[in-house]
Amino acid sequence: MSYPRKVLIVCKGNICRSPTAEAVLRIKASQLGLELEIDSAGIENYHCGSKPDPRAIKHAHRRGYDLTSQKARQIEPNDFSYFDVILAADKSNLTDLKNLCPAEHHSKLMLFLGLQDLMDPYWGDAEHFEEVLDLIEKRADFLLKQWQPGN
């Protein structure tokens, strides 16, 4: 696969994991000089138009990531053809995406962490939001290294 230029991250409601991953990838890509279009979406529509979870905003801000301009949205049919790669937060999200996605775009779907789920901090405490940030930052570094031209 050639390196992607348009990346979508998807979780259940688009208020914790996917907006955090969007912000981290965007900042880290910019620091590397990579021109990527990065967006996030949710499988479900119950948070559409809402800002990310205040806890996600707070913990991301402490590390220099700004989530305040983001608004939750639900994945749309045209996302499957538009984006080069679609990263699901967990296996449940990946299954939902495969059910929604036209077969010709299934190769674009993968787990954000590769082989494991990115835990949902929504029902957790501050420690869970910090752990999710740790995992996202580490994986973002790995992915962006892979996506640099020439790799």
Sheet containing 37-42, strands listed edge to edge, beginning at the edge strand earlier in sequence: 37-42, 6-11, 85-88, 109-111
Give the H/E segment covering residue 99. Answer: helix 91-100
CA angle 39, 81, 33 (to 5 degrees): 40
How is residue 85 written in tokens? 């790669």
- Which 3 state secondary structure label does DSSP give 140? helix
* Residue among 53, 73, 120, 139 flagged as catalytic: 120
* Residue among 17, 26, 73, 139 flagged as catalytic: 17
Tell me, yes or no, if 120 is annotated catalytic. yes
* Residue among 11, 26, 79, 139 flagged as catalytic: 11
Whole-angstrom distance, CA of residue 87 vs CA of residue 110 = 5
Please identify every residue annotated as catalytic: 11, 17, 120
